[in-house]
Structure 1
Amino acid sequence: MQEAMLKKAKTLEPLNPNKSTGIFGGKSSGILNWNDIAYPHWYKMYKRLIGNYWQADEVNMSSDVKQFASLDKSEQDAYLKIIGLLSTLDAPQTRTALLLSLYASDASVQSIMAVIAQQEAVHNESYSYVLSSVVSLDEQNEAFQLGRKDPILLKRNENLVKQYNAFVEEPTMENILKTIVYTSLLEGMFFYSGFAFFYNLARHNKMVGTSTMISYINRDELEHGRFIAELFRAALDENPSYNTPEFIEWVYEQFKESVDLEIEWSTYVLKDVEGIDLDEMAGYVKYRANKMLRMLGLSEIYPENLENPMKWIRAYVDNFDGTKTDFFEQKSRQYTKTSDLNGFDDL
């Protein structure tokens, strides 16, 4: 029996209640009152998201402009390949967030996904901004071609591409849930070997402007991953017929395969980079997968990787436990929008 296609949510249906009766396929007027939503704590998630506002061209890249030429060849190659990877991940996220919002019948989800889509657009802009600061236009274009031409990267992204396009072609509840799973993988694991490379440069006082930009992207992705995991759990709870052993096994299989592909990619792109232990990186990828599975309400699949083997990364990124690490408490590197209220003296 073929599964029914979901219809896009109507913009306004005044006869329906303001509080949605379901995240997908529910009834809602389209009128959003944040004080009367089905999942009240999602307002706090919305507030955290918009609190992360930043712009790419307000990050100072002057030192990176001078330093890039002094990086060794392996660091330069990895820098360009990883920017290419990140751009192939963030560019489709803008559209995927929009597509999910079009089928969401809960107006609070529509608003949160709109913020996520905007932030993903900023992330993608930031990769163009970073590359334009350090290499020629031809080299920039070459880095952005990697997502279409590099065989290891194509292999790494194949399952993601397949699932995202399946949702476009067949917007069923099952494909929405599967797309949310892959969005969770993307936000919570696929970026992280790339992020680690830039943080490794920064801890050797190299390309600090780039790592600062990456840390803002990382902070956003942590919030995106947190919300996407909540969206998955809520949608699965509202649609218990999909909460089957077969579907949960599918989730675990995607995680296992994705971990293997991520380790293959990170080994390929980081094998010649000084300061990164590839065994530790593999453990870090598995550690990230365990975290995302827990957030999705599932069990860890790598019992040997419950602790972060690359503890030095904590100096650069937030974590899922809701505590702030040193990096975001450092006023000198925390993004602050200049205004008449804070003035330049506070920056």
Structure 2
Amino acid sequence: MPKTLDKVAVLEPLNPNKSTALFGGKASGILNWNDLAYPHFYNHREQIRALFWRASEVDMTQDIKQFPTLPEKEQDAFLKIIGLLATLDGPQTDIAARIGHYSTDPSVKSIMATIADQESEHNHSYAYVLSSVTSFDRQNESFETGRKDEVLLKRNERIMQVYNEFALNPSIENVLKAMVYTALLEGLFFYSGFAFFYNMARNQKMVGTSTMISYINRDELQHGRFISDLFRATLAENPECNTAEFTDWVYGQFRHSVDQEMNWSRYVLDGIDGIDLIEMEGYIKYRANKMLRMLGLSEMYEDYVDNPMKWIRAYVDNFDDTKTDFFEQKSRQYTKTSDLNGFDEL
């Protein structure tokens, strides 16, 4: 029988401050960052906290002017991909908070609260981008993509099932499965969408949006690192869950997710100038291998241990918090506006 989890009480002074387990243990609820069950979680906390930013600080002036001039295919892909990202990041705020609710380690609660806040800002950023470049009706249409687009609904079917199962039946097994899909979301599901915006930026199109995406991407890399670490630690604390059957389940979800990501990229990126779909599919497999290694598992796609999408290295795949423009090769910095979305400069 799976070990059922209960929501953790806010304060239990009779319990020790240092948690006895990540989930299903005991802790007072008093957080002492200098006395943690997993001291290196403090480093995760500092790295994630260092990434604070706000969407409204990114200058969208040029994007406002450029969007109406984009080819119809690029405009359509832009709106569909924003819809995809919003579909994923909205629930991610909730799932991060839920994982925190059931963790008996107060450091995990604190880190997941920060992640939830950042995911909320990501979701806000998509609304901010759309409000900058298109009409209210088209904004709403983009946000409806996750509810109505058949390809996207199929793509998100399993993550919806796993997240809802954890919400309805919290257990060690289900929180582990939710963490697997959180890692997939942070490290794989966004990446064909990110590639679209980075490809536009290297052609000096919609650079404000691309800059926003790069900050989201940087956050997701750090979130993925922590979730992968939390997954491994939770599995180590619960060796009865570390079975061949569970490992096979994880590999099966990765295989399915790669297939769905490739289907989505063919659906939304076909015909986009500068995007090679064969190269994109190789990149998706490369990202899957990378996330499997972070979860402590072996690679699935032996021919994709190196990044086949050379040009995208300027934007992603680093963990040192530095972003560079492909066409400028210098650190990306905010250009802040003095008025909302830069409308004063039109």
Counterpart of 1:108 in structure 2 is 107
Query: Displacement of 1:334 after TM fit?
Result: 2.2
Q: Show the counterpart of 2:202.
A: 203
Paired residues of 1:54 and 1:337 also in contact (CA < 8 A): no
1:153-210 deviations in whole A, cap 9, x for unaligned? 0000000000000001100110000000000000000000000000000000000000
Separation of aligned partners in 2, 1:4 and 1:240: 12
Deviation, structure 1 residue 323:
7.7
Distance in 1 of aligned mates of 2:129 and 2:91 = 19
Aligned to 1:243: 242
SS of 1:259's equivalent in the other structure is: helix
CA–CA distance in structure 1, aligned partners of residues 102 and 154 of structure 2: 29
CA distance in 1, matches of 2:121, 2:336: 15
Identify the residue that residue 341 of structure 2 maps to in structure 1: none
Counterpart amino acid of 2:126?
Answer: Y
Report the CA distance shift for 1:261/1:336 in structure 2 as closer, same or farther (over 3 A). same
Change (3 A) 1:56 1:149: same
Percent identical residues: 65
Asked if 1 retains the 8 angstrom alpha-carbon contact of 2:63 and 2:207, the reply is yes
Q: Does 1:306 align with 2:302?
A: no
Deviation at residue 10 of structure 1 after TM alignment: 1.2
Matches within 5 A, 1:88-103: 88-103=87-102
The code of the aligned residue for 2:315 comes to: Y
Give the 5 Å matches for 1:1-347: 2-320=1-319, 322=320, 324=322, 326-327=324-325, 333-335=332-334
Q: Which has the higher contact order (CA 8 A, sep 6+)?
A: 2
Specify every segment of 5 or more residues in structure 2 that has no aligned partner in the other structure, as ranges.
338-346
* CA deviation after TM superposition for structure 1 residue 130, in Å: 0.1
Deviations along 1:310-344, one digit per CA (max 9) or x if unpaired, are 11111123524x58464599776224999xxxxxx
TM-score by length of structure 1 reads 0.94
Give the aligned length.
336
Q: 1:117 to 1:256 in 2, by over 3 A?
A: same
**What per-residue deviation string (whole Å, max 9, x for no partner) do you get for residues 226-258 of structure 1?**
000000000000000000000001000000000
d(CA) in 2 for partners of 1:46, 1:27: 21
Q: Per the alignment, in what secondary structure is the counterpart of residue 187 of structure 2?
A: helix
Take 1:99 and 1:245, find their aligned partners in 2: how far apart are those partners?
27
In the alignment, is the contact (CA less than 8 A) between 2:323 and 2:331 conserved in 1? no
**Cα pair 2:3 2:173 within 8 Å, conserved:** no
Alpha carbons 1:61, 1:209 under 8 Å: kept:
yes
Deviations 1:282-304 (A, max 9, x none): 00000000000000000000001
Task: Report if the CA contact (8 A) 1:63-1:207 is conserved.
Answer: yes
Pair 332,60 (structure 1): closer, same or farther in 2 beyond 3 Å: farther
- 1:265 alignment partner AA: W
* 8 A contact 1:55–1:122 mirrored in 2: yes
- Structure 1 residues 124, 323: closer, same or farther in 2, change over 3 A? closer
User: Using the alignment, how far apart are the partners of 2:7 and 2:105 within structure 1?
Assistant: 12
Which segments of 5 or more consecutive residues in structure 1 lack a partner in the other structure? 339-347
What secondary structure sits across from 1:17 in the alignment? coil
Give the C-alpha shift of residue 31 in structure 1: 0.4
Contact 1:219–1:318 at 8 Å: present in 2 too? no
Contact 2:202 2:325 in 1 (8 A): no
User: What CA distance in whole angstroms lies between the structure 2 residues aligned with 1:315 and 1:99?
Assistant: 34
Residues in 2 aligned to 1:336 and 1:190: alpha-carbon distance in whole angstroms: 28
| 2:188–2:287 CA contact under 8 A, matched in 1 | yes
User: What is the Cα-based RMSD across aligned positions, in Å?
Assistant: 1.7
1:34 aligned counterpart, secondary structure: coil
Q: Give how far 1:5 is off.
A: 1.9
The residue type paired with residue 259 of structure 2 is: D
**Runs of 4 or more consecutive aligned structure 1 residues displaced over 3 Å after TM superposition:** 322-332, 335-338
Indicate if the aligned counterparts of 2:59 and 2:336 stay in contact, CA closer than 8 A: no
Deviation at 1:53, TM superposition (A): 0.4
**Which residue identity does 2:234 align to in structure 1?**
A
